[in-house]
Each structure stands twice: as structure tokens, then as C-alpha cells.
């Protein structure tokens, strides 16, 4: 089997976030996708060791923002290479609150989806959270950043907790 064939799968890049019991968390993911239209439903895959995962579980809700082409590596690093355990990721890029009570940063993102969790599936290292979209907004006219552009032009790396990581 040639596992590098998996590099041919296409994705966007997103920040998924939540708040519970006063704790805010969020992280970069490439694994967000719309799974149904009626009702509009999204799925996110989040590593069990990510702080964001436990906060989504406790909140019963999450918010996804679609990262746009204005994002740079410091922005990706803020959300994707640090942990929310001892750091407020929403301080540097502004913090607003979505319809389901999640914090989100309105900078460098072109769309927002506020979701209530309707199902959780354990897939091993990651949990899949399936959420009904209760609010959706266009936040800018910029094009969404693709995972391919992140690798080819921003020269970004994929850390071990990403679903698509290969050692």
C-alpha cells in the first residue's frame, strides 16, 4: 500500500472552537466537511488529546471558521501549533461569540458555522463530532485557503495530531 496516495485528498483549513465552564479552546483542523444538506450538518474530526475535544464534549456545541487566503503562518501557528491548556488563542486575533456560545476570531476567516452536536463517533485516535448548523455567516469575500496551498506555498507542516499526519 502506498500511503502517500492519501496526500491526493483535498481539504480546506478551519478553526474549530468551543467554550465550556469558562474554558475556551480552539484548534486548526483540515477535517471539517458538510455531510448533509437537509438539515445542514457538518462533521469535524478532532484528536482525543487536543484540549478542544474535551471542551466540545462538555459544551455540546462547536463553531467552525473557514480560514481564508489572507492567513499567514503566525496565524496557523497560533491555533494549530499551540495548546489551549495554558494559552488564550483568541487574544491576539480578536474574540467574538457565535450563536452556540463558542469563541471565534473574525480575522483571516471567510465563513462561520455554529453547530450543535447531534452525534459523536469514536474512530480511535480521533472523535467525529457531527453537528447541526444553527447559524452560518459569510465573514469576508476572500477565497478559502486550501490544504494544498498551505503545503505548497506557505510551506506549512502537518503536526502529529492531525488526522492526515504521516511520520
Ligand X SMILES: Cc1cc2nc3c(=O)[nH]c(=O)nc-3n(C[C@H](O)[C@H](O)[C@H](O)COP(=O)(O)O)c2cc1C
Q: How far is the CB of 5 from ligand X (least distance, A)?
A: 18
> CB of 61 within 8 A of CB of 116?
yes
Residues 106-135 that bind ligand X (CB under 6 A): 126
Q: Which of 51, 61, 100, 111 binds ligand X (CB under 6 A)?
A: 51
Nearest to ligand X of 39, 76 (CB atom)? 76
Number of residues that bind ligand X (CB under 6 A): 27
Helix residue spans in 60-94 (DSSP H): 73-80
> CB of 65 within 8 A of CB of 109?
yes
Nearest to ligand X of 41, 48 (CB atom)? 48
Please tell me whether residue 59 binds ligand X under the rule CB under 6 A. no
Site string for ligand X, 25-44 (x = CB under 6 A): x-xxxxx-------------
What secondary structure does DSSP assign to 93-116, as a single string?
T--EE-TTS-EE--TTEEEEEEEE
Contacts of 89 (CB under 8 A, 6+ apart): 24, 25, 26, 78, 79, 82, 105
Q: Which of 18, 24, 52, 110 binds ligand X (CB under 6 A)?
A: 52
Contacts of 114 (CB under 8 A, 6+ apart): 61, 63, 98, 99, 100, 102, 133, 134, 135, 136
Q: Which of 84, 98, 102, 105 binds ligand X (CB under 6 A)?
A: 84
Please tell me whether residue 156 binds ligand X under the rule CB under 6 A. yes
Residue 23 to residue 44: CA distance in whole angstroms: 20
Q: Kindly list the residues in this chain that would bind ligand X in the complex (CB under 6 A).
A: 13, 25, 27-31, 45-47, 50-52, 76, 80-84, 126, 150, 156, 158-159, 161-163
Amino acid at each position: 500500500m502506498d500511503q502517500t496516495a492519501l496526500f491526493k485528498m483535498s481539504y480546506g483549513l478551519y478553526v474549530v472552537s468551543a467554550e465550556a465552564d469558562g474554558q475556551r479552546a480552539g484548534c486548526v483542523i483540515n477535517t471539517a466537511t458538510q455531510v448533509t444538506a437537509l438539515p445542514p450538518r457538518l462533521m469535524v474530526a478532532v484528536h482525543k488529546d487536543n484540549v478542544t475535544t474535551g471542551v466540545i464534549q462538555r459544551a455540546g456545541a462547536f463553531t467552525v471558521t473557514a480560514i481564508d487566503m489572507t492567513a499567514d503562518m503566525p496565524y496557523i501557528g497560533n491555533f494549530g501549533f499551540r495548546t489551549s491548556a495554558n494559552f488564550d488563542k483568541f487574544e491576539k486575533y480578536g474574540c467574538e461569540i457565535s450563536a452556540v456560545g463558542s469563541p471565534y476570531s473574525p480575522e483571516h476567516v471567510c465563513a462561520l458555522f455554529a453547530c450543535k452536536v447531534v452525534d459523536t463517533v469514536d474512530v480511535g485516535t480521533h472523535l467525529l463530532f457531527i453537528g447541526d448548523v444553527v447559524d452560518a455567516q459569510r465573514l469576508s469575500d476572500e477565497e478559502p485557503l486550501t490544504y494544498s496551498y498551505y503545503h505548497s506555498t506557505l510551506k506549512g507542516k502537518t503536526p502529529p495530531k492531525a488526522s492526515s499526519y504521516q511520520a
